[in-house]
Copies of this chain bind each other. A is one copy, B any other.
Amino acid sequence: MDKINALTAFSALSQEIRLDVFRLLIEAGDVGAQAGEIATQLNVRQNTLSANLSVLLNAGLVTNQREGRAIRYFANTNGLRGLLGFLLKDCCGGHPELCEPLIETLTCRPEGDAT
């Protein structure tokens, strides 16, 4: 992950349709979603969605896989991981206290558990 990749990824996430798509795919997990399903769920035209999916693909934030006539998309966790690693580079080295609340945010636990 270099700076250009990171800028591309943040730029990809800074547009409403693409942010919605990415979050939908994060929530969909391993199952992913077909382009058509995404278009329907988000109420976006096919060509508009397609253009935005290609931006997300190019940014390394999603992957895809043909499935007959359809194309299925998935959130790319590794891409996101690289992005966050780049953004927070050296924060742990000098300042571990900065990372703790971030890790806390990502730690899986039941909702409402204030531990």
Contacts and interface: CB of A to CB of B under 8 A. Distances in A.
Interface string A1-39: 001001100110111100110110011011000000000
B13 A87 contact: yes
Interface residues of A, number: 46
A107 B81 CA distance: 12
Contacts of A99: 106-108
Interface of A: 3, 6-7, 10-11, 13-16, 19-20, 22-23, 26-27, 29-30, 75, 77-78, 80-81, 84-85, 87-96, 98-99, 101-109, 111
19 contacts: A3-B19, A10-B11, A13-B14, A19-B87, A26-B87, A26-B89, A27-B89, A27-B90, A27-B94, A29-B91, A29-B95, A78-B101, A81-B102, A88-B106, A92-B109, A93-B108, A93-B111, A99-B107, A106-B106
